[in-house]
């Protein structure tokens, strides 16, 4: 399999070359930097009493107590920085999580690549939730997916023609659809990250952003196992 980030062949993920995880058909999640961890949460909580780390058992119990009683600020002392590649419509949902920092690639400065999200299965509008969808069988699904690809191809062809004729990148981009891929860096503390995961791993979250959230949860669990365990045990509670 090829890594969507470094485009090298790899047998396993995270990619042995760049450490990224493939998501959807062309996207990825890569942890760039991490600071803190479970012990940083404990240190931040105990400083109010002029104390620090104790035994692993007591430190673990403290994290559970903080989570259960919604003492959230100590969780802000563990920081994740991710490199994300996703379709623009996914990024627009992502950017609603404002207690974090984003820097996105600029279509004003960079010529956009011919990279579009093509779903491998289609969904119908949910009958019980106006904002949700559900997978269903379409007799003409192959033809409908080809329609999506055709629209992508035409819009990108027009985009390139506009550039060829001297139209500025910042204006030529207006013909590009929401399915085109973008990239951004996302820096977030573990408190805000848990809020993101609580909302975006939910059953009624859009399928595409759920795929990213599931991968990020795996990274969160690896880096902060005590916090992740308490968070799950307490029903993905907002600390």
In angstroms, the CA 197 to CA 148 distance is 29
Does residue 44 lie in a domain region? yes
Our count of domains for the chain comes to 1
- Counts of helices then strands in the chain (DSSP H, E): 8, 7
Does residue 42 lie in a domain region? yes
Does residue 3 lie in a domain region? no
| CATH number of the domain residue 79 falls in | 3.30.1360.170
Task: Give catalytic status of residue 200 as yes or no.
Answer: yes
For residue 156, how many C-alpha atoms fall within 13 Å in the half-sphere facing its CB?
Answer: 16
In angstroms, the CA 140 to CA 28 distance is 30
Q: pLDDT digit string (tens) for 211-228?
A: 999 999 999 999 999 999
Mean pLDDT for the stretch of residues 105-127 = 94
Which domain covers residue 42, as residue numbers?
20-118+180-233
Residue 129 has pLDDT above 80, yes or no: no
Does residue 160 lie in a domain region? no
Give which of 12, 184, 161, 40 is closest to 107, Cα–Cα: 184
Does residue 60 lie in a domain region? yes
pLDDT at residue 37, as a whole number: 97
Does residue 157 lie in a domain region? no
Q: pLDDT digit string (tens) for 165-223?
A: 999 999 999 999 999 999 999 999 999 999 999 999 999 999 999 999 999 999 999 99
DSSP class of residue 180 equals: B
Q: With contact defined as beta carbons under 8 Å apart, do 4 and 28 qualify?
A: yes
- Active-site hit among 108, 173, 200, 210: 200
Does residue 124 lie in a domain region? no
Does residue 31 lie in a domain region? yes
Q: pLDDT digit string (tens) for 61-113?
A: 999 999 999 999 999 999 999 999 999 999 999 999 999 999 999 999 999 99
What does pTM read for this prediction?
0.95
Which residues 6+ apart lie within 8 Å of 199 measured at CB? 205
């Amino acid at each position: 399999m090829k890594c969507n980030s470094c485009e090298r062949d790899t047998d396993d993920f995270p990619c042995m070359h760049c450490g990224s995880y493939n998501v959807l058909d062309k996207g990825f999640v890569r942890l760039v930097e991490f600071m803190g961890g479970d012990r940083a949460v404990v240190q931040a909580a105990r400083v109010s009493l002029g104390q620090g780390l104790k035994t692993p058992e007591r430190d673990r119990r403290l994290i559970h107590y903080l989570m259960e009683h919604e003492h959230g600020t100590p969780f802000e002392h563990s920081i994740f920085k991710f490199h994300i590649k996703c379709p623009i419509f996914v990024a627009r949902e992502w950017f609603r999580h404002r207690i974090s920092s984003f820097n996105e690639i600029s279509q004003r400065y960079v010529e956009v690549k011919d990279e579009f999200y093509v779903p491998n299965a289609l969904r119908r509008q949910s009958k019980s939730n106006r904002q949700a969808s559900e997978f269903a069988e379409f007799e003409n699904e192959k033809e409908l997916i080809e329609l999506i690809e055709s629209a992508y191809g035409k819009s990108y062809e027009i985009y390139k023609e506009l550039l060829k004729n001297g139209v500025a990148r910042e204006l030529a981009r207006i013909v590009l659809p929401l399915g085109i891929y973008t990239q951004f860096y996302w820096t977030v503390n573990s408190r805000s990250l848990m809020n993101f995961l609580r909302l975006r791993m939910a059953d009624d979250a859009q399928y595409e952003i759920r795929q990213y959230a599931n991968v990020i949860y795996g990274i969160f669990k690896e880096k902060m196992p005590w916090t992740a365990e308490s968070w799950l045990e307490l029903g993905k509670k907002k600390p």
